[in-house]
Amino acid sequence: MIVQKYGGSSVATIEKIKAIAENIKASIHEKVIIVVSAMGKTTNNLLEQAKQICESPNKREVDALISTGEQQSASLMAMALCDIGVKAISLNAMQAKIHTTSNFGKALIKKIDTKHLTKLFEKFDAIVITGFQGVCRGKNITTLGRGGSDTTAVALASAMNARCEIFTDVEAIYSVNPSLHKDAKKLKQISYDLALEMASSGAKVLDERAIEIAKKFGTQIYLGKTLENDHCKGTYVMNKNFLEEVRVNSISIRENVFHISLQANLISQVIKTLKQQNQNLEMLAINNQSISFVCKKEHQKSIEKALKKVQKQPPKTSSNLTRITLVGYGFMTHSEIVEKLYEMMSENSLHFDNLYLTETTISFLIPTSEKHKTIKSLVELYEL
């Protein structure tokens, strides 16, 4: 059995859906679960409609609304498969019995009824399932958050003990975003840990939660380009171990970040307040009675508003920044990696600040105006 996921750009038109259906019929000779995202920018359009109704729409109703995008894709895909002789059926999250928590907008998958799906395969060769969503207690539709279709696909593959293939408009995972460096190297294999570090630091290749599930259950993921059947061209995310390897494997870039630092008597209260806003505190540093962190620029206003409730003194802020993250192995135990970084930045008159070091990542902030020059220098330094 195999689980295949197709992203929004892959199913953006009727012609693309028909082409995927033909490819599935020609290349798949086993039972297949097909997970689909909404067509193109459908989810964004639905969210915009909700905002036209009211500024802060009810979260339950938002999930009910945006879940219709995936149902549209699933029904059309099932129709396309049936039209060419493949026994197929579409299921929404309730019909597929994907049970989640009640956190509307960011629900967690609790259980998948695999017996129900196995029974359906007695009648059908292909089951098309809506990605990005589940059903919680009370039979309310929930959504899993951005990138949730990846999570759906990997969760289904893990539960059904199946292979997982995720198809999108990029051919593989690269050492650096190809749009920023045209000669970026393709990564044929990557470990769960490095893939997770890349995703969490800004690389838009796979959803973090999908990688976490794959690692937990040992589910191998193949990422490749839609309609490309040569699996030598994509990337496998798998359980790959290294014996004391010391190197930089890739660079992740997160643009338009916002740096905040403040003096705080009640640091725990500050952190609690921000967590209640569902904010990810990246590069978090705490020193005596000060705290600093990085967040997305789009969250600046909501964070400043939340901080006013617990902190009278306004925070120090910096914008027009890009976060660079080097991903690899042995950074804390082998100082030469960081030493080379400092030397290169100094020789090229590049500016960076707030260096944050772990065993597998080196993160720092640069002025966005120096982004391209910095990336080019890093690629040359670490031969990426």
pLDDT at 122 over 80: yes
Q: Where do the H-state alpha helices sit in the chain? A: 14-27, 42-53, 59-83, 93-96, 114-120, 148-160, 192-200, 208-217, 267-276, 300-308, 336-347, 371-382
What's the CATH number of domain 2-238, 3.40.50.10860, 3.40.50.720, 3.40.1160.10, 1.10.510.10? 3.40.1160.10
Are the beta carbons of 359 and 324 closer than 8 angstroms? no
> Going by C-beta distance under 8 Å and a sequence separation of 6 or more, which residues neighbour residue 58?
none
Mean pLDDT check: name the lowest of 213-227, 228-242, 352-366.
228-242
Confidence bin at 264 (pLDDT 50/70/90):
low
Predicted structure pTM score: 0.85
pLDDT, tens digit (0-9, with 9 covering 90-100), for 19-48: 999 999 998 889 999 999 999 999 999 999
- How many residues comprise the chain? 384
- The answer, yes or no, to whether residue 277 has pLDDT greater than 70, is no
Question: What is the reported pLDDT for 261?
Answer: 84
Ranges of each domain in the chain: 2-238, 247-382
Gyration radius from the chain CA atoms: 22
How far apart, in Å, are the Cα atoms of 338 and each of 116, 213, 215, 335, 346?
A: 52, 32, 28, 6, 12
- Fold match, 2-238 / 247-382: no
Q: How confident is the model at residue 265 (pLDDT cuts 50, 70, 90)?
A: low
Instruction: Give dist(CA 377, CA 373) in Å, integer.
Output: 6
Summarize the confidence of residues 89-107 as an average pLDDT. Answer: 96
Quick one: pLDDT band at residue 283, thresholds 50, 70, 90? confident
Contact 34, 128 (CB under 8 A): yes
Domain 247-382 in CATH 3.30.70.100: no
Look at 61-70, 161-170, 240-249 and tell me which has the smallest mean pLDDT: 240-249
